[in-house]
């Protein structure tokens, strides 16, 4: 019976490709389901044989640990962008969105008072 090994929702394409290559390189028999047309269901990678799941899980855990370390290292080298960095760099992008968020919050807080008067 098939066993879900790797859901593809919100997974970058390069990571999905690396996982596909990892499964194929270790001779694991797998197949891929594509996402639904309206975004209700996400694609996934499935093992054809449930008995291969422990080995595949171990391989994916090792891969994800390495990828996490790699991403953290890249963030340390390049620095992580903060809200203030984005505000300084692109004020024309941030300020209208920030004002829209504040307007929605004000409307949500004020609407019950206005309707119940």
pLDDT at site 115: 86
Which element (helix H / strand E) includes 90? none
pTM above 0.75, yes or no: no
Q: Left, alpha or beta for 11 (phi > 0: left; psi -120 to 50: alpha)?
A: beta
Local confidence pLDDT in tens for the 117 residues of the chain: 889 999 999 899 999 999 999 999 999 999 999 988 887 888 999 999 999 999 999 999 999 999 999 988 888 788 778 889 899 999 999 999 999 999 999 999 999 888 887
């Amino acid at each position: 019976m098939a066993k879900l090994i790797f859901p593809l929702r919100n997974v970058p394409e390069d990571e999905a490709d690396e996982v596909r290559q990892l499964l194929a390189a270790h001779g694991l028999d797998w197949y891929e389901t594509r996402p639904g047309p309206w975004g209700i269901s996400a694609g996934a990678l499935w093992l054809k044989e449930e008995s291969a799941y422990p080995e595949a899980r171990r391989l994916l855990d090792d891969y994800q640990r390495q990828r996490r370390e790699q991403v953290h290292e890249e963030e340390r080298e390049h620095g992580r962008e903060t809200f203030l960095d984005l505000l300084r760099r692109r004020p024309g992008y941030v300020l209208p969105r920030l004002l829209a968020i504040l307007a929605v919050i004000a409307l949500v807080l004020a609407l019950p008072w206005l309707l119940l008067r």
